[in-house]
Structure 1
Amino acid sequence: MESSNEERDQLTKKLLEEEHGGGDQAPLLEPKEVHRDEEEEEEEKLSLGRKILEENKKLWIVAGPSIFTRFSTFGVTVISQAFIGHLGSTELAAYALVSTVLMRFANGILLGMASALETLCGQSYGAKQYHMLGIYLQRSWIILTITAICILPIYIFTTPLLRLLGQDEEIAKMAGVISVWFIPVLFSYVYTFTLQMYLQAQSRNLIITYLAMLNLGSHLFLSWLLTIKFKLGVAGVMGSMVVAMWIPVFGQLLFVFCGGCPETWTGFSWRAFTDLTAIVKLSISSGVMLCLELWYNTILVLLTGYMKNAEVAIDALSICLNINGWEMMISIGFLAAAGVRVANELGAGSARRAKFAIKNVVLNSSTIGSILFVAFLLFRGKLAYIFTEDMNVAKAVAHLSPLLAFSILLNSVQPVLSGVAVGAGWQSVVAYVNIACYYLVGIPLGALLGYGFKFHVEGIWVGMLLGTFVQTIVLVVLTMRTDWNKQVTIAKDRINKWYFEQERRLNGSSNGSSDNTP
C-alpha cells in the first residue's frame, strides 16, 4: 500500500514538474516530511502551557470571529422575533413555526452541504494546494443554488403544508405571509455559508466579523425604523431582515473578487463544472449529518403543536430554543474552528497536532458551556420578557429553564465533536450515529414521555435530551478510538486522487486542443 502511494506520488510529481517547468509549485501530494518533523521536534521542546497557548491562538483566530458572526446572524433572527412578538401572539407563533421549522429545514440542508467545504478547503489549504480553494468554492455555489431552488416550493406553499400537518388555521395563514419574505433569505444562505467556510479555512476572519457587526446593527436600526416609527408591522421586520442578510454576502464577494484572497481566488473557471459528482457525494453526507441535528429541535416544535393550548406551548418553547440557539452559536463557532484546525493539520500531515487541537477545542467549549449552565439556572425565566409580554408564556419559559440549562451543557461538547468529524471527512459515519441516537432513541422516548406518560412539553424535551446524551457518548468514544495517523493517510490520498484527476483532465484537454490545431 505504501509503495503504491509512493509510486503514484512520484508519477504525479513528475507530471506537475513537466507541466509547470520544474515544479516551482510545491504539490500537496508530497508533503515536506523532513520540514514537518523538524517543526514537531521544536514543538516537543515547548512546555505544555506554551503548547496550549500556541494552539489557543490558532483556535481563537477561527473561533472568535466565527462565534461573533454566528451570534450576529442568529441575532438578526432573534431581533426579528422580539419585534414580531410585540405585534401579537399569533404573529409570534407563526414566525416561530417558520423560523424554527422551515428555515431550520433549509438551514440544515444548505449549511450541511456547505460544510463539505470545511473538509475540502481545510485539507487543501493545510497541504498548500491554494488554487483548489477557489474551484471548490465555485462548485459549492453551483450545487447549493440548485438545492435552494429545489427547496423553494415549501416557502410558496407554507399555509397548505402547515394545515396538512394539523397546525392552527390562523397561525398557518400568518406563517404563509412570513414564509414568502424568507425566500430572499434562503438564497442569501447559499453565498453566506460557502464564503464563510472558504475564508475560515484560510483564517481570513476579520472581514467576516466586520460585516457581521454591520449586519446586526443595520437590522436593529431598520427594524426599529420600519416597525416602531413607520408602523409597517410584519412587513417592516421582514424587509429589514432581507436587507441585513444580504449585506455580508455583497461585502464578502467584494473582498474575494477585489484581491482579498490572491492565492486562493484566481477568477471564475470552467473547471468548477467538472468533477461535481465527488463534491455532491461529500456535500450530501455533510448535509444529512447536520440536517439530522438541526431538524431534531424542529420535530420538538411540531410535536408541541399538537398539544392543548398549543399557542402558549409553542411560544414558550420557541423562546427557550432561541435562547438555546444563542448558546448554540458559540458551539457552532467551535464546530467551525474544530473543523478548520483538524482539516489543516491532517492536510499538513500531522496526526499529533490534530489530536492536540481536538483536546484543546473540547476543553475550551466545555468550560464555557459549564459557566453558561450555571448562569441559566440562576436566571431562570427572567429572559422571557425580552420576547413577550404574556405572563402565561413567561411562566411556561421559567418552568422549562432547567431543561434549557442541560441542553446548553450538552451543546458545549456534541457540536464540537461533529466539527472534528467534518475536519476529518467522517460526515457519513456521523449521519448514521445521528439517525440511531436522535430518531431511534430521542424522538420515540420524547413522544412516549410527552404523550404516553402525559409529561407534555417537558417529557418530549427530556426524551430528546437523552438522545443527544447518547449521541455525545458515541462521538466521544469514536474520537478517542480513531487512528489519527491513518486519518492523515486518508486525507493525503483524498487530495492526491482529486488533484491527480484534475491535472489529468486538464492535460487531456490541452492535448486534445493541440491535436485539433491545424
Structure 2
Amino acid sequence: MGSALETLCGQAFGAGQVYMLGVYMQRSWIILSITCIVLLPIYIFATPILKLLGQQDDIANLAGEFTLLLIPQLFSLAINFPTQKFLQAQSKVKVLAWTGLVTLVVHIGLLWLLIYAFGWGTTGAAIAFDISSWGAAVAQVFYVVGWCKDGWHGLSWAAFKDIWAFVRLSLASAVMLCLEVWYMMSIIILAGHLDNAVIAVGSLSICMNINGYELMLFVGINAGISVRVANELGFRHPRAAKYAVYVAVFQSFLIGIFFMVLILATRNYFEIIFTSSKDMQQAVANLAYLLGFTMVLNSVQPVISGVAVGGGWQALVAYINLGCYYIFGLPLGYFLGYVMELGVKGLWGGMIAGTALQTLILCFVLYKTNWNKEVEQTTDRMRKWGGQDANTQENNI
C-alpha cells in the first residue's frame, strides 16, 4: 500500500509541487496505521489460525507467541514505508542506504545480545526486530523533519483531504504487489502435497532463494525507474519517460540473460552452498533450466511493475496479474504437476507460463502507451490533489 506514495510523491516532485510531499506522506501514515489495526486480529489469533490450517500444535503455539511480540514491528512499517517513498521521490537515497546499513549492524548486535548473551531465544529475536525496525523508522522521520524543509512543513489537516481517493490507489498498489508475491509463494504450498514432498519443497526453496538474491537487484531498479518515470511525467517530459523505460527494460533483460547463463553453467555446483544431500543436489540441478528461465522473466517483470507504479497504473496491472497468474498460470501448473504427473517441473512450468504471459502483456501495454496522454493525466492528478502552497500552509497545525 505504501507504493501509492511512490506514484504521487514522484509526480508531485517532478511537477514542482514539493510542498505536497509531506502532506502525501502524512496521508499514507494515516492509511497504513489504520491498515495495521485491521491486520491486528491475524497477529493476535495467529495460533488458532495456524492450527485451523493444519499446522502442528507445537509449531502453531510458538509461531503465535512470536507473532504477538512482532505487533510493534507491524506498526513501524506504517511509518517506515511512506518515509522511504518520500525520500526516494527526491532521489535522497543515500540517507536510506546509510540508515539501512546502521540498522543492519545494530540488528545483528541486538540478535547476538538478546538471543545468545541473555538466552531469550525467539523472544529475543522478536524484540530485536521491534527495536531495529522502529529505530530505522524514527531515524528516517528525524531526517525528514530536520533536513527536508522543502517537502516537510509540519503536520497538516490537509492530510485528511481526498483520503478516499488515496485509499483506492493504495489498495490497487497492494493488490498488484501481493498478487505477484503470493503467486510464486503458492508453488511451495502446492509442492508440499506432491510425493516425496521433502525433496520437492527443499529443492524449490533452494531455487527460490537463488532467484530471490537476483530479484533484490531488480527491486532496486524497480524503485529507480518508478521514481524516474514519475518525475519525468511530473516534469511534462513524455519522451524522457519513454526513453528511461526502454533503457531500464533492455538493461535488465541483459542482466537476466547473464544470470541465466551463470546458473546453467554452475547447475551441478551452486546447490552445494545450501545442502550436502546428494538427492537434494540432484533435484535442484534438474530444476536449473526452469530457474534460469525464471531469472530472465524476473529481470524484466519487476522493472515493468516499477513503471506501472511510477505512472499510476496499479489497478490495470492488478487485473492483468489476476488473469495471468490465478486464472491461467496457477491452474495450468496444477494440471501439469498433478494431472499430467510432471511433479515439481509441471508446477513450476505452468506458473512460469503465467509469468511469461503477464510479461508479454505488460510489454505490449508499454509499446502502446501514449506518453503524452500520461503527462496530461499526471497534470490533472496534480491539479486535483496539489492545491496551492498558500492554502496548504494555512492548513498546517
- Name the TM-score, length of structure 2 as normaliser: 0.90
Structure 2: any 5+ residue segments left out of the alignment?
Answer: none
Q: Render the CA deviation track for 1:388-409: whole Å, top value 9, x for unaligned.
A: 6666555544443332222211
2:144 alignment partner, one of 256, 261, 264: 256
Once the two structures are TM-superposed, the CA of residue 474 in structure 1 deviates from its matched residue by 0.2
Q: Provide the rounded CA distance (Å) in 2 between the counterparts of 1:378 and 1:151.
A: 44
Q: Is the 8 A contact 1:167 1:305 kept in 2?
A: no
In the alignment, which residue of structure 1 is the partner of 2:356?
A: 469
Superposition pairs of residues 219-368 of structure 1, within 5 angstroms: 219-227=107-115, 232-258=120-146, 260-368=147-255
Instruction: Label 1:437 to 1:158 Cα distance change in 2 as closer, same or farther (>3 A).
Output: same
Determine if the alignment matches structure 1 residue 446 to structure 2 residue 333: yes
* Aligned partner letter, 1:218: V
* Aligned partner letter, 1:179: T
In the alignment, which residue of structure 2 is the partner of 1:195?
A: 83
Q: Is the 8 A contact 1:442 1:468 kept in 2?
A: yes
Q: Provide the rounded CA distance (Å) in 1 between the counterparts of 2:62 and 2:283.
A: 23
Q: Provide the rounded CA distance (Å) in 2 between the counterparts of 1:169 and 1:200.
A: 43
Instruction: Label 1:169 to 1:466 Cα distance change in 2 as closer, same or farther (>3 A).
Output: farther
Once the two structures are TM-superposed, the CA of residue 278 in structure 1 deviates from its matched residue by 1.3
Instruction: Label 1:309 to 1:128 Cα distance change in 2 as closer, same or farther (>3 A).
Output: same
Q: Provide the rounded CA distance (Å) in 1 between the counterparts of 2:376 and 2:310.
A: 14
Superposition pairs of residues 61-210 of structure 1, within 5 angstroms: 113-168=1-56, 170-210=58-98
Instruction: Label 1:298 to 1:185 Cα distance change in 2 as closer, same or farther (>3 A).
Output: farther
Q: Pick which of 298-307 and 236-245 moved more.
A: 236-245
Q: Render the CA deviation track for 1:211-233: whole Å, top value 9, x for unaligned.
A: 11122233334444555566554
Q: Is the 8 A contact 1:140 1:194 kept in 2?
A: yes
Q: Pick which of 225-234 and 440-449 moved more.
A: 225-234
* Aligned partner letter, 1:303: L
Q: Provide the rounded CA distance (Å) in 1 between the counterparts of 2:127 and 2:277.
A: 26
Superposition pairs of residues 15-94 of structure 1, within 5 angstroms: none
Q: Provide the rounded CA distance (Å) in 2 between the counterparts of 1:203 and 1:262.
A: 15
Q: Provide the rounded CA distance (Å) in 2 between the counterparts of 1:375 and 1:418.
A: 25
Equivalent position SS for 2:153: coil
Instruction: Label 1:251 to 1:161 Cα distance change in 2 as closer, same or farther (>3 A).
Output: same
Q: Pick which of 425-434 and 385-394 moved more.
A: 385-394
Q: Is the 8 A contact 2:70 2:127 kept in 1?
A: no
In the alignment, which residue of structure 2 is the partner of 1:434?
A: 321
Instruction: Label 1:155 to 1:252 Cα distance change in 2 as closer, same or farther (>3 A).
Output: same
Once the two structures are TM-superposed, the CA of residue 181 in structure 1 deviates from its matched residue by 4.1
Q: Provide the rounded CA distance (Å) in 2 between the counterparts of 1:173 and 1:271.
A: 44
Q: Provide the rounded CA distance (Å) in 2 between the counterparts of 1:439 and 1:406.
A: 20
Once the two structures are TM-superposed, the CA of residue 376 in structure 1 deviates from its matched residue by 2.3
Q: Provide the rounded CA distance (Å) in 1 between the counterparts of 2:319 and 2:93.
A: 32
Q: Pick which of 158-167 and 468-477 moved more.
A: 158-167
Q: Provide the rounded CA distance (Å) in 2 between the counterparts of 1:157 and 1:304.
A: 27
Q: Is the 8 A contact 2:333 2:349 kept in 1?
A: yes
Equivalent position SS for 1:262: coil
Q: Is the 8 A contact 1:117 1:137 kept in 2?
A: yes
Equivalent position SS for 1:413: helix
Q: Is the 8 A contact 2:153 2:393 kept in 1?
A: no
In the alignment, which residue of structure 2 is the partner of 1:417?
A: 304
Q: Render the CA deviation track for 1:126-181: whole Å, top value 9, x for unaligned.
A: 01101100000000000011111211222232333233334455544443344334
Equivalent position SS for 2:287: helix
Q: Is the 8 A contact 1:166 1:306 kept in 2?
A: no
Q: Pick which of 273-282 and 385-394 moved more.
A: 385-394
Q: Render the CA deviation track for 1:179-230: whole Å, top value 9, x for unaligned.
A: 3344333222222221111101001111100111122233334444555566
Instruction: Label 1:246 to 1:383 Cα distance change in 2 as closer, same or farther (>3 A).
Output: farther
Once the two structures are TM-superposed, the CA of residue 279 in structure 1 deviates from its matched residue by 0.6
Instruction: Label 1:182 to 1:390 Cα distance change in 2 as closer, same or farther (>3 A).
Output: farther
Q: Render the CA deviation track for 1:248-271: whole Å, top value 9, x for unaligned.
A: 21211111122x211001111111
Count of residue pairs brought into register by the alignment: 396
In the alignment, which residue of structure 1 is the partner of 2:288?
A: 401
* Aligned partner letter, 1:276: I
- Name the TM-score, length of structure 1 as normaliser: 0.70
* Aligned partner letter, 2:237: S
CA RMSD of aligned residues (A): 2.7
* Aligned partner letter, 1:286: S
1:484 alignment partner, one of 350, 367, 371: 371
Once the two structures are TM-superposed, the CA of residue 309 in structure 1 deviates from its matched residue by 4.6
In the alignment, which residue of structure 1 is the partner of 2:386?
A: 499
Q: Provide the rounded CA distance (Å) in 2 between the counterparts of 1:384 and 1:189.
A: 34
* Aligned partner letter, 1:462: G
Larger Rg: 1
Q: Is the 8 A contact 1:331 1:415 kept in 2?
A: yes
Instruction: Label 1:152 to 1:458 Cα distance change in 2 as closer, same or farther (>3 A).
Output: farther
Instruction: Label 1:201 to 1:352 Cα distance change in 2 as closer, same or farther (>3 A).
Output: same
Structure 1: any 5+ residue segments left out of the alignment?
Answer: 1-112, 511-518
